[in-house]
Chain A
Amino acid sequence: MGLIDIARSKSPWILHFDAGACNGCDIEILACLTPVYDVERFGIINIGNPKHADVLLVTGTVNKRSARVLRNLYDQMPDPKAVVAIGACALSGGVFHECYNVLGGVDSVLPVDVYVPGCAPKPEAIIEGVVMALGKMQEREHARKRGAA
Chain B
Amino acid sequence: MMAEYLTALAAVLAAPFLGGILMGLDRVVSARLQSRQGPPLVQPFYDILKLFAKRRMAANTFQMISVSVYLASMVLSLALLVMGQDLLVLLFILALGNIMLILGGFSVKSPYSQLGSQREVIVLLAYEPLLVCMVVGTYILTGSFSAASVFGLERPLALSMPAFVITQTLVMAMKLHKSPFDVSASHHAHQELVRGIYTEFSGPQMAVIELAHLYELVLLLGFIVLFWHTNLVVGIVLALACHAAVIVLDNVSARMTTRWMFGFTWSVGLALAAANLAALYATGPLPR
A7→B57 contact, CB < 8 A: no
A residues less than 8 Å from B206 (CB atoms): 51-52
Q: Which of B39, B56, B202 contacts A40 (CB 8 A)?
A: B39
A41 contacts chain B at the CB level, 8 A cutoff: yes
**What is the 8 Å Cβ interface bit string for chain B, positions 200-214, against chain A (1 contact, 0 not)?**
111100100000000
Of the listed residues A43, A54, A76, A79, the one surrounded by the most CB atoms of chain B closer than 10 A to its CB is: A43
Expressed in whole angstroms, the Cα–Cα distance for A47 and B51 within the complex equals: 13
Expressed in whole angstroms, the Cα–Cα distance for A6 and B189 within the complex equals: 21
Query: Which residue from chain B places its CB closest to the CB of A78 in the assembled complex?
Result: B57
A46 contacts chain B at the CB level, 8 A cutoff: yes
Expressed in whole angstroms, the Cα–Cα distance for A79 and B55 within the complex equals: 5
Expressed in whole angstroms, the Cα–Cα distance for A40 and B188 within the complex equals: 12
Query: Which residue from chain B places its CB closest to the CB of A42 in the assembled complex?
Result: B39
B70 contacts chain A at the CB level, 8 A cutoff: no
B194 contacts chain A at the CB level, 8 A cutoff: yes
Contacting residues of chain B (16-43) with chain A, CB-CB under 8 angstroms: 27, 31, 34-40, 43
A residues less than 8 Å from B47 (CB atoms): 7, 11, 43
B50 contacts chain A at the CB level, 8 A cutoff: yes
Contact A51/B199 with A11-B46, A80-B54 known, Cβ cut-off 8 Å: yes
| Closest Cβ–Cβ distance, residue B86 to chain A (whole Å) | 37
Q: Which of B37, B55, B191, B198 contacts A80 (CB 8 A)?
A: B55
Expressed in whole angstroms, the Cα–Cα distance for A11 and B200 within the complex equals: 20
A7→B50 contact, CB < 8 A: yes
Query: Which residue from chain A places its CB closest to the CB of B194 in the assembled complex?
Result: A49
Contacting residues of chain A (19-48) with chain B, CB-CB under 8 angstroms: 35, 38, 40-43, 45-48
A4 contacts chain B at the CB level, 8 A cutoff: yes
Expressed in whole angstroms, the Cα–Cα distance for A10 and B57 within the complex equals: 22
| Closest Cβ–Cβ distance, residue A49 to chain B (whole Å) | 4
B residues less than 8 Å from A136 (CB atoms): none
A8→B50 contact, CB < 8 A: yes
A49→B199 contact, CB < 8 A: yes
Query: Which residue from chain A places its CB closest to the CB of B44 in the assembled complex?
Result: A11
Contacting residues of chain A (66-117) with chain B, CB-CB under 8 angstroms: 76, 78-80
Expressed in whole angstroms, the Cα–Cα distance for A43 and B37 within the complex equals: 11
A residues less than 8 Å from B49 (CB atoms): 3-4, 7, 11
A residues less than 8 Å from B195 (CB atoms): 47-49, 52
Expressed in whole angstroms, the Cα–Cα distance for A4 and B48 within the complex equals: 10
Contact A40/B31 with A45-B189, A54-B50 known, Cβ cut-off 8 Å: yes
A38→B37 contact, CB < 8 A: yes
A10→B40 contact, CB < 8 A: yes
B53 contacts chain A at the CB level, 8 A cutoff: yes
B46→A43 contact, CB < 8 A: yes
A38→B50 contact, CB < 8 A: no
A residues less than 8 Å from B191 (CB atoms): 48-49
**What is the 8 Å Cβ interface bit string for chain B, positions 167-208, against chain A (1 contact, 0 not)?**
000000000000000000000010100110011111100100
B residues less than 8 Å from A78 (CB atoms): 54-57, 202-203
A41→B46 contact, CB < 8 A: no
| Closest Cβ–Cβ distance, residue A78 to chain B (whole Å) | 4
A43→B56 contact, CB < 8 A: no
Expressed in whole angstroms, the Cα–Cα distance for A47 and B195 within the complex equals: 8
B residues less than 8 Å from A45 (CB atoms): 189
| Closest Cβ–Cβ distance, residue A133 to chain B (whole Å) | 15
Known: A7-B46, A7-B49. 16 other contacts (CB 8 A): A4-B49, A4-B53, A7-B53, A10-B40, A10-B43, A11-B50, A35-B35, A42-B39, A43-B39, A43-B43, A43-B46, A49-B191, A49-B194, A52-B198, A78-B55, A80-B54
13 contacts between A and B (CB under 8 A): A3-B49, A4-B50, A8-B50, A11-B43, A13-B189, A38-B31, A43-B39, A48-B194, A49-B198, A51-B202, A78-B57, A79-B55, A80-B54
* Closest CB pairs A-B (n = 5): A7-B49, A51-B202, A78-B57, A38-B36, A10-B46
